[in-house]
A and B are shown apart, each in its own frame.
Chain A
Amino acid sequence: MTNILITGVGGQGIVLASKLIAGTAMKKNIPVMSAETIGMAQKGGSVQSYLRLGKGAYSAMFPRGSADLLLAFEPGEAVRMLPWLKKNGTAVVNTHAIMPTTASLSGASYSGEEMIAYLKERVENLILVDGDAACRALGSPRALNMVLLGAAVSSGALPFTVDEVDEVMRVSVREAFRDLNSRALRYQ
């Protein structure tokens, strides 16, 4: 059984990343279940997608300490959900912080650097991705989810290859985004 927790802020493209992991698993005849935050929480809030690949579980909502992979689209959200990561689990984390509206109002500073420092101290298998730089290099802010998914797959934390994910992506998204997504999945 492989447990995956994807986390970030509403609107970052987490749902598509989750769908592609599920779709690729299905294609390889691996049973899959998932659970997502939908509704009021989506509006600028923290969002999560839980995925379980393989047999033997009843609920997609796995407990703390059992994620093999934590795929975080935002460093503060990575820290928030870190208790879900297994010891020796892999964390793939975007270093670009998203400032919440509340921080702007209170004048509190939040840069994400303190989050990265905290993660570095605690996570052995930590893969940091500068999502902002990647999107600039690829020429689109929409590429972020594929860049992070590509990094997660390349880390070996998922039971499939980038080519297998790519194949599923190409039949799941509109033609206009296919080539950008293919390049993003392979961005290193």
Chain B
Amino acid sequence: MHTEFLMGNAAIARGAIASGLNLIAGYPGTPSTEVLETAAKSRPDGLYVEWSVNEKAALELAAGASYAGARTMVTMKQVGLNVASDPLMSLAYIGVKGGMVILVADDPGPISSQTEQDTRTFAAYSKLPCFDPSTVQEAYEMIQDAYAYSEKYHTPVLFRPTTRICHAYASIEVKDEAEFAVNTPEGFVKDSTKWVIFPKLSRNAHEMIAKREPVLSADFSGYSKNRIADSSGLPSRNLALASHGASFAYTMDALSLLDAEGISQAKCLEVLKISTPYPFPEELGLKFLQAHDEVLCIEELDPVIERELTYIAGKHHLNVTIRGKLTGDVTPAGENSTESVAEAIRKLLSGAGDSALSAASAATGNDNPPALPVRPPVLCAGCPHRASFYAVKQAMKGKKAVFCGDIGCYTLGNAMPLDMVDTCLCMGAGLNIAQGINRIEPDTTAFAFVGDSTFFASAITGVVNAVYNQAEMVLVVLDNSTTAMTGHQPHPGTGRTMMGEIVAKIDIESVLRGIGVKTVETVNPLELSAAVETVKRVAKEPGVKAVIFRSPCAVLVKPEKPAVIDPEKCINCKRCVRELGCPGLVISEGKVQIESALCTGCMLCSQVCPTQAIGKGGQKE
């Protein structure tokens, strides 16, 4: 063992590698992305790493490998599990031979996601065992336990850290290479009674899973990471707490905080920590409930523990009050924090905190600060998406049009002054939503914007649907040759793989033509007038037509010299600022200035300037 400072996601990858991992596949998504990236960076011989085209493909790939005896991992964010849910539900019945962990990162807040769905609930629905770590160190250890349980019960298991575990760093104890487990896959052994899902097999598997549930529950009651955290003082009968994941850490810190405030009862509160929400460790829960009159459940996302404890209390006729989200004692949505947990506990200990000084009141700067600058996320300076949105906006000026967006950096095209995203639902949805709006409102030109990675992940079927069903729409592919939002992962259009190979790219234009899209034009969005003319021309064509805006992500290419403003030509009309909203353009002392640290020299603003006052940098000298 030795100590390393690791990100939670890195700790998970390293723990999986220490368990003898043979294959890892996934699709990028915050906050899960760094798990697979770490595995690729510290790839031992014999480990296959792949960014798959989407989560469904990744899960099916890993299932095949696990059938052949490999230890596998699939990585995704919580909404990715929706995409992978079809194979997941069936795989729960089929089971696996080699250990398989499906890593699904949840995002309370949500900080960078569409939903606040809870993978613990998905675990109960799919009937798959689920692990929920509280700290970086625990995540490292628990992922190794997850492989052991997966192989013991021949089932895939879910592992669901949340953002605050994924993106936390800690100095933790990790194994040396000599301590790593090694797994040599046996290979696929044919057996159609085992690997082919049929109604008869499903009925039997369903029964097996139902019988397994109490066995696993009993096993988990003895699992060391499900435990009752002792109080430092004499345990209180009146009140106790139950928690999980990052909220368990907040709960423990909140008890220290309350103790420091002089609330002596804080020392007497026991905390039930649930690391396996499904199957719920019922014996442990029962023992805990029997010792208390009231239990406050501190959870993020769904009230999973609260419902389970309420069920156990009812089943065993216990005279205990269960509190939490369902009783309004904990916020139903968003993240918890040490302070919010301390506040919830303080309320239940009412009277105790009256004379105590709360930490917040000791803080500085709570009194009437000056108006703070608002900093919503924006498209980067020099981002080609800004130019693409602007070109479409100019081309469709005065015409009835709807702009359906999708998931990626380009969702930020919704911000003022571009205001070019009218809808956004989930990966790949924009294409079909555009068709739906046009079916009801045929005089509206329906646009769908989709990024290159999203195109491959889940938009191709939407194009097939549109073409075959004779839809009227304009598809705009924003091709910046990377998966930018999640940190520039390769995809089928980039010609690189996670194994370091250079391979033939899959060409978006050929895909569209192959499906039957007759009009497909590719243009550089940073050449504004050509881009506007292209959109005008293409939009007039009948049926499904496409514009591919191709220009690399500004973060990936070496920037050009920053633009310069000629103060003699600039009439200070601020048109560039008002039209584009580029962070590289600022108003300082009433004048438009180029923020040279940010400007990439994309020169879009020079094409908007009515007096040609903006020129390429470095020309004058």
B570-585 interface mask toward A, CB cutoff 8 Å, 1 = contact, 0 = none? 0000100110011101
Report the Cα distance A14→B261, complex, angstroms.
32
Binds A, one of B167-175, B188-196, B311-319: B167-175
Using Cβ atoms and an 8 Å threshold, which residues of chain B touch A103? 373-374, 587
> Are A63 and B171 also in contact (CB < 8 A) when A26-B5, A99-B373, A105-B578 are?
no
Choice from A11, A104, A115, A141 contacting B370 with Cβ under 8 Å: A115
Please give me the residue from chain A that is nearest to B34 by CB atom: A38
Please give me the residue from chain A that is nearest to B486 by CB atom: A39
Q: Please give the distance in Å from B114's CB to the nearest CB on chain A.
A: 11
Using Cβ atoms and an 8 Å threshold, which residues of chain B touch A44? 375, 377-378, 380, 583
Report the Cα distance A107→B409, complex, angstroms.
26
CB of B134 within 8 Å of the partner chain: yes
Choice from B252, B337, B365 contacting A122 with Cβ under 8 Å: B365
Please give me the residue from chain A that is nearest to B257 by CB atom: A63
- 7 additional A-B pairs beyond A83-B364, A101-B583, beta carbons within 8 Å, are A25-B171, A26-B5, A45-B376, A59-B252, A60-B168, A64-B359, A118-B365
Using Cβ atoms and an 8 Å threshold, which residues of chain A touch B597? 141
Using Cβ atoms and an 8 Å threshold, which residues of chain A touch B342? 63
Are the CB atoms of B370 and A84 closer together than 8 Å? no
Report the Cα distance A86→B364, complex, angstroms.
7
Are the CB atoms of B581 and A101 closer together than 8 Å? yes
A-B contact pairs, 9 of them (CB 8 A): A22-B169, A31-B170, A57-B253, A61-B164, A65-B362, A102-B374, A102-B375, A107-B587, A110-B373
CB of B416 within 8 Å of the partner chain: yes
Report the Cα distance A57→B137, complex, angstroms.
13
CB of B600 within 8 Å of the partner chain: no
Are the CB atoms of A58 and B248 closer together than 8 Å? yes
CB of A170 within 8 Å of the partner chain: no
Query: For window 336-370 of chain B, which residues contact chain A by CB distance below 8 Å?
Result: 337-339, 342, 359-367, 369-370
B interface residues, how many (CB within 8 angstroms): 65
Are the CB atoms of A123 and B364 closer together than 8 Å? yes
Using Cβ atoms and an 8 Å threshold, which residues of chain A touch B583? 44, 101
Report the Cα distance A73→B364, complex, angstroms.
19
Report the Cα distance A11→B171, complex, angstroms.
25
Using Cβ atoms and an 8 Å threshold, which residues of chain B touch A11? 598
A30-56 interface mask toward B, CB cutoff 8 Å, 1 = contact, 0 = none? 011111111111111110000000001
Using Cβ atoms and an 8 Å threshold, which residues of chain B touch A122? 364-365, 367
Are the CB atoms of A63 and B337 closer together than 8 Å? yes
Using Cβ atoms and an 8 Å threshold, which residues of chain B touch A86? 362-364
Are the CB atoms of B338 and A59 closer together than 8 Å? yes
Please give me the residue from chain B that is nearest to A78 by CB atom: B365
Please give me the residue from chain B that is nearest to A57 by CB atom: B253
CB of A120 within 8 Å of the partner chain: no
> Are A76 and B372 also in contact (CB < 8 A) when A59-B253, A105-B578 are?
yes
Choice from B249, B362, B380, B578 contacting A59 with Cβ under 8 Å: B249
Using Cβ atoms and an 8 Å threshold, which residues of chain B touch A61? 164, 250, 337-338
Query: For window 90-110 of chain B, which residues contact chain A by CB distance below 8 Å?
Result: none
Are the CB atoms of A83 and B363 closer together than 8 Å? yes
Are the CB atoms of A63 and B169 closer together than 8 Å? no
Tell me whether chain A's interface is mostly helix, strand or loop, or mixed.
Answer: mixed
Are the CB atoms of B112 and A58 closer together than 8 Å? no
B553-589 interface mask toward A, CB cutoff 8 Å, 1 = contact, 0 = none? 0000000000000000000001001100111011110
Using Cβ atoms and an 8 Å threshold, which residues of chain A touch B598? 11
Choice from A58, A60, A115 contacting B169 with Cβ under 8 Å: A60
CB of A155 within 8 Å of the partner chain: no
- Name B's A-contacting residues (CB within 8 A): 3, 5, 30-31, 111-112, 134-136, 164, 167-171, 246, 248-250, 252-253, 256-257, 337-339, 342, 359-367, 369-370, 372-380, 409, 412, 416-417, 485, 574, 577-578, 581-583, 585-588, 595, 597-598
Using Cβ atoms and an 8 Å threshold, which residues of chain A touch B370? 79, 114-115, 118
Choice from B249, B374, B417 contacting A100 with Cβ under 8 Å: B374
Q: Please give the distance in Å from A185's CB to the nearest CB on chain B.
A: 20
Are the CB atoms of A59 and B164 closer together than 8 Å? yes
Choice from A31, A36, A87, A118 contacting B362 with Cβ under 8 Å: A87
Please give me the residue from chain A that is nearest to B592 by CB atom: A104
Choice from A39, A43, A62, A80 contacting B379 with Cβ under 8 Å: A43
Report the Cα distance A34→B246, complex, angstroms.
13
CB of A150 within 8 Å of the partner chain: no
A59-98 interface mask toward B, CB cutoff 8 Å, 1 = contact, 0 = none? 1111111100000000010011011111101000000001
Are the CB atoms of A32 and B248 closer together than 8 Å? no
Using Cβ atoms and an 8 Å threshold, which residues of chain B touch A99? 373, 586-588, 595
Are the CB atoms of B363 and A64 closer together than 8 Å? yes
Q: Please give the distance in Å from A124's CB to the nearest CB on chain B.
A: 9
Choice from B112, B135, B363 contacting A65 with Cβ under 8 Å: B363
Choice from A39, A79, A104 contacting B112 with Cβ under 8 Å: A39
Report the Cα distance A43→B554, complex, angstroms.
13
Using Cβ atoms and an 8 Å threshold, which residues of chain A touch B367? 122
Are the CB atoms of B171 and A40 closer together than 8 Å? no
Using Cβ atoms and an 8 Å threshold, which residues of chain A touch B365? 79, 82-83, 85, 118, 122
CB of A9 within 8 Å of the partner chain: yes
